[in-house]
Amino acid sequence: MKVINKIEEIKKITEDSKKNNKTVGLVPTMGCLHAGHASLIKKSVAENDLSVVSVFVNPIQFGPNEDYDKYPRTLDEDIKLCSELGADYIFAPSPQEMYPNLEKFSDLTMVAPPYKFTDMLCGKSRIGHFDGVCTVVTKLINITSPDRAYFGMKDIQQLFIIKKMVKDLNFSVEIVPCPLVREETGLALSSRNKYLTPEAKTNALTISKALFAIKSGVERGITDTKLLFDTAMTVLAPSIELDYLEFVRAEDFEPVESITEPTIAAIAAKVGNVRLIDNIIIGE
Ligand code: PAF
**Mind giving me the DSSP string for 156-175?**
HHHHHHHHHHHHHTT-S-EE
- In tens, the pLDDT along 5-52 reads 999 999 999 999 999 999 999 999 999 999 999 999 999 999 999 999
The answer, yes or no, to whether residue 105 has pLDDT greater than 90, is no
Query: Which of 40, 17, 44 minimizes the C-alpha distance to 29?
Result: 40
- In tens, the pLDDT along 183-194 reads 999 999 999 999
Cβ-contact 237, 203 below 8 angstroms: yes
Indicate whether residue 136 lines ligand 1 (CB < 6 A).
yes
Nearest CA to ligand 1 atom 1: 29
Distance (Å) from CA 28 to ligand 1 centroid: 6
pLDDT band at 100, cuts 50/70/90? very high
- In tens, the pLDDT along 205-263 reads 999 999 999 999 999 999 999 999 999 999 999 999 999 999 999 999 999 999 999 99
Burial 216-242 (b: 16+ CB within 10 A, else e): ebbeeeebebeebbebbeeebbeebee
CA distance 53 to 41: 7
Indicate whether residue 137 lines ligand 1 (CB < 6 A).
yes
CA distance 59 to 63: 9
Cβ-contact 45, 87 below 8 angstroms: yes
Indicate whether residue 165 lines ligand 1 (CB < 6 A).
no
What Rg do the C-alpha atoms of the chain give, in angstroms?
19
Indicate whether residue 30 lines ligand 1 (CB < 6 A).
yes
0.85 cut: is pTM over it? Answer: yes
| 26, 30, 56: residue to mutate for ligand 1 pocket, most atoms within 8 A of CB | 30
Nearest CA to ligand 1 atom 8: 29
CA distance 118 to 116: 6
Phi and psi of 104, rounded to 5°?
-100, 70
Indicate whether residue 61 lines ligand 1 (CB < 6 A).
yes
Tell me the average pLDDT across 92-110.
93
- Report the percentage of the chain scoring pLDDT > 90: 98
CA distance 253 to 162: 13
Distance (Å) from CA 49 to ligand 1 centroid: 23
Indicate whether residue 236 lines ligand 1 (CB < 6 A).
no
Structure-derived torsion over alpha carbons of residues 139, 143, 146, 152, reported in degrees to the nearest 10: -40
Tell me the average pLDDT across 97-125.
95
Kindly report the number of other CB atoms within 10 A of residue 11's CB atom.
Answer: 16
pLDDT of residue 106: 85
Which atom of ligand 1 lies at the shortest distance from residue 191's CA? 3
Active site residues: 37
Indicate whether residue 29 lines ligand 1 (CB < 6 A).
yes
The answer, yes or no, to whether residue 104 has pLDDT greater than 90, is no
Distance (Å) from CA 149 to ligand 1 centroid: 12
